[in-house]
Amino acid sequence: MIEDADGCLQADFANEWIGGGVLQAGCVQEEILFLEKPECLCSMLFCEVMLANESITLVGAERFSKHTGYARGFKYAGDFKDKTPLDPKRRISNVIIAFDAIVAFSVLVKGKMKDERITFLTKNLDWWRVRQWMSLYTYNLCKNHLSAIMDADSVP
């Protein structure tokens, strides 16, 4: 699972409101990420709705729990001891880039379920490419400055 990969940039295929339904009934990718790394919940207090050209970077969130399943099958699977290496500022060395994801769905057409995911994603492939490029570009642009932004020692 992506949660078990060390040293990777993680994508949060987010709701336009960061955190999605984590405080309500949602339990898919973003909500599970926020449940396992509850420090991400703070972003819900400080970040407004994401526009189409925006992403949110979360740095150093520690994982505290494991899970099994997804959506209605989601279950807490116990505590997790995060052994991710620390960065030079002694933060968990991980970065999450959140961007508003496209909703993929199936629809009922003339009494039959029609899978709209392929059509929907194909029509929006350029949109996806731009969003992913923007998120990675933002991360690369900011990665040298993240230490300064998050550095408590730099506060006068």
Active-site annotation holder among 4, 6, 16, 31: 31
Clarify whether 3 is annotated catalytic: no
Active-site annotation holder among 3, 4, 30, 87: 30
Clarify whether 62 is annotated catalytic: no
Active-site annotation holder among 3, 4, 6, 12: 12
Length of the chain: 156
Nearest to 104 by CA among 94, 113, 115: 115
Nearest to 146 by CA among 154, 40, 76: 154
Q: What angle do CA 74, 79, 85 make, to 5 degrees?
A: 110
CA atoms of 62 and 65, how far apart (whole Å) = 10
Clarify whether 12 is annotated catalytic: yes
Residues annotated as part of the active site: 12, 30-31
